[in-house]
Structure 1
Amino acid sequence: MKLKLIGIGLLLLLLASCSSTKLVSTWKNPDNVVFDAYQVLVVGMVKDDAARMEFEDRFVHALKEQGVEAMRSIDLFDVEFTLAERSEQELKEVEEQLLDKGFDAILFTKVVGAENRRTFRERINNIDKMMLRFSNDYLEHQDIYYNSEYYDSFNVYHAETSLYCICVGKEIELIWRGDVDVTEPENVNKTIDSYIKLITRSMGEQDVIFN
């Protein structure tokens, strides 16, 4: 029975690894039961301008489909702004500019870490067999030598999307945050769409922007 349970656990692990995006956790500010935003600045902290533009463009489109006005940060920030380290005072000035322009929220996405993982491709249907003979054990696992997919190495990126409120007379405060694991995607566009749908659905379920 124990071996069967291990087999089921490994199967679930393998199935989970097929998913390109997975919501790991969320946090919502307890002081804000419901939060509505009318004009949101979408910020994707990505070094590559083309990737940043694609991500922000798709997120802005998703927000507008939900009736929320949004703008890409790449359209607002000067190109030179992201080329050098900025001070706290400079960021405060940006916050004031956003407030003056009518923005009431910032949706900020970044990759906070990455790790390399290796999955062990077990033969699930035979995992409860006891290898009492060397020949059986060898024959069962000999493809370790020649099957390049027996070990599958891939990257998992830990991404974080945070929603900040731009409130008059207050410091910009965190309203909501979602942590997502993104498995190295085969199709970047589909992964971006999946990520955005995951985030917007979760925010909607928690009465954040979408309700």
Structure 2
Amino acid sequence: MKKILLFVVLLALASCKTTKLVDEYKNPENVVFTAYKVLLVGMTPNEESRVAFENRLKEEFDKRKIESMRSIDLFDVNFTASAKTEEELKAVERQLLDKDFDAVLFAKVLGSESKQTLRKKISDWGNYTGRFRDDYFQHQDIYNNDWSYDQFKVYHTETTLYCICEGKEQSMVWRGSIDLTDPKNIDKSIDEYVNLVVAAMEAQDVLFHK
């Protein structure tokens, strides 16, 4: 019984992570992709989150001795304050090439949705005796109490790596779709997010190599 309870607790703790890779795609033309100078772009209206995300991501590039630059160091406030035309973005790509960038790692939030989950205290599981009537008795108030349910948000995000090499305009190398569940602690969520992106690309021999 103790082993079963320990397994349940460990399973619950593992599910506490706020990030999950739900889908990914790697361009088959890029079996192994290496870049030498990467622009890091976090697209969000929240300036604090953008800075924190790009800072954390740059730490991972610095560890691996891959040159990178945060978009906050390259784009001024006026650039992100207004929508850009295709021609303006082409000019930006040309500027990046002129500055010897060969890749852009681009993260953005695509949307969000509200969901419900049933609250359950881990401390109560230790009192479960394995009989139906005990379990039913302990939880029968679920029928009449709305407070047994929590509302939470799931944010659907996408992180994409683009090659901006000569002759390969806007060539997508890798894309990962990641869900963030109820990210109350922004720093923790960003840390998990970046770790997940790095691990996923490393597994695909993209940028980060084992």
The answer to whether the superposition gives a TM-score over 0.5 is yes
Q: Give TM-score, length-normalised by structure 2.
A: 0.83
Q: Is the 8 A contact 1:106 1:166 kept in 2?
A: yes
Partner of 1:156: 154
Shift, 1:34, TM fit = 0.3
- In 2, the alpha carbon distance for the partners of 1:48 and 1:19 equals 22
Shift, 1:138, TM fit = 8.0
Partner of 2:52: 54
- In 2, the alpha carbon distance for the partners of 1:24 and 1:44 equals 19
Partner of 1:8: none
- In 2, the alpha carbon distance for the partners of 1:147 and 1:78 equals 48
Q: Is the 8 A contact 1:17 1:183 kept in 2?
A: no
Shift, 1:118, TM fit = 0.1
**115 and 13 in structure 1: CA distance in 2 versus 1, 3 angstrom threshold:** farther
Runs of 4+ with deviation above 6 angstroms = 11-16, 122-128, 136-139
Partner of 2:180: 182
Partner of 1:104: 102
- In 2, the alpha carbon distance for the partners of 1:139 and 1:34 equals 55
Identity of aligned residues (%): 49
Deviations 1:166-191 (CA, angstroms, capped at 9, x unpaired): 11133111000011111112321111
3-state SS of 1:37 partner: coil
Shift, 1:137, TM fit = 6.7
Partner of 1:6: none
- In 2, the alpha carbon distance for the partners of 1:146 and 1:59 equals 43
Which residue of 181, 190, 193 corresponds with 2:191? Answer: 193
Q: Give TM-score, length-normalised by structure 1.
A: 0.82
Q: Is the 8 A contact 1:20 1:184 kept in 2?
A: yes
Shift, 1:78, TM fit = 2.1
Shift, 1:12, TM fit = 11
- In 1, the alpha carbon distance for the partners of 2:131 and 2:155 equals 33
- Taking only aligned residues, the RMSD between alpha carbons, in angstroms, comes to 2.8
Amino acid at match of 1:74: I
- In 2, the alpha carbon distance for the partners of 1:128 and 1:24 equals 37
- In 2, the alpha carbon distance for the partners of 1:19 and 1:104 equals 33
- In 2, the alpha carbon distance for the partners of 1:126 and 1:179 equals 41
Amino acid at match of 1:190: K
Partner of 2:140: 141
3-state SS of 1:152 partner: strand
**127 and 14 in structure 1: CA distance in 2 versus 1, 3 angstrom threshold:** farther
Partner of 2:82: 84
Instruction: Compare 61-70 and 194-203 and name the one that shifted more.
Output: 61-70
Aligned length: 197
Partner of 1:28: 26
- In 2, the alpha carbon distance for the partners of 1:181 and 1:126 equals 36
Partner of 2:42: 44
**146 and 72 in structure 1: CA distance in 2 versus 1, 3 angstrom threshold:** same
**16 and 170 in structure 1: CA distance in 2 versus 1, 3 angstrom threshold:** same
3-state SS of 2:197 partner: helix
Residue ranges of structure 1 left out of the alignment (5+ in a row): 1-10, 131-135
